Amino acid sequence: MARIEGKWAKGKSWLSIAPVAACGGRDATVYQVQFCPGPSGAPASRRFSVVGWLSQHTPIWLLARAFVEARSVVETRIPADLWHLGRSEPAALYLSAHWMLAIVFGNPKQMRVAVRFLVQEGEDPDVFRSVFINASVRAAEEFGTCLEREIMDACPKWWAEHSTPEPDGVK
């Protein structure tokens, strides 16, 4: 299970996500999400389905890819001077997987990423629980790499249809 943990204003917080393996050689259709929003919150666990999604596993895979590219997020600046201070703004990625939203901000001075996860609470599509994690770039990259690998392993048919072959000589 891919897991990211880090600092929070009041202690440590973490979130993990993994596809739940299906039986009989079928691709996974459910994801298990576990998280602890900090020392004052109890760990929680949720299962979410991708059955019926036109995009299938793509939103979850894009979430994984965003974390694999955490260093690029940290190093990217947007050429907008919103505060009239003569400087650009740090980049942020907004990723939606219907039942989970992740906002990934870069902190180039500390080489860290700040992530706000919003995880759907129960069946109500309008109620979300917030988890904030401030993690190292390396921890973010490892989380993304692990999640991407788990999606490939648990969803081989989907992966075969959606992956692109690597150019000759590239591995």
pTM (2 decimals)?
Answer: 0.88
Could you give the strand order of the β-sheet that contains 92-96, starting from the edge strand earlier in sequence? 44-49, 30-36, 11-20, 2-8, 128-136, 112-120, 100-107, 92-96
- Count of beta carbons in the 10 Å neighbourhood of residue 137: 21
Predicted pLDDT at 23: 84
Q: Where are the domains of the chain?
A: 2-162
The model's pLDDT over 107-157, given as tens digits with 9 standing for 90+, comes to 888 999 999 999 998 888 899 999 999 999 999 999 999 999 999 999 999
Torsion-angle region of residue 107: left (phi > 0), alpha (psi -120 to 50) or beta?
beta
Lookup result for tokens 């036109």: 54
Print burial letters for 56-88: b (CB count within 10 Å at least 16), e (below 16).
bbebbbebbebbbbbeebbebeeeeeeeeeeee
pLDDT band per the 50, 70, 90 thresholds, residue 167:
low
Mention every residue, 6+ apart, whose C-beta is less than 8 A from residue 46.
32, 33, 34, 99, 119, 120
Q: Which CATH architecture has domain 2-162?
A: Roll (2.30)
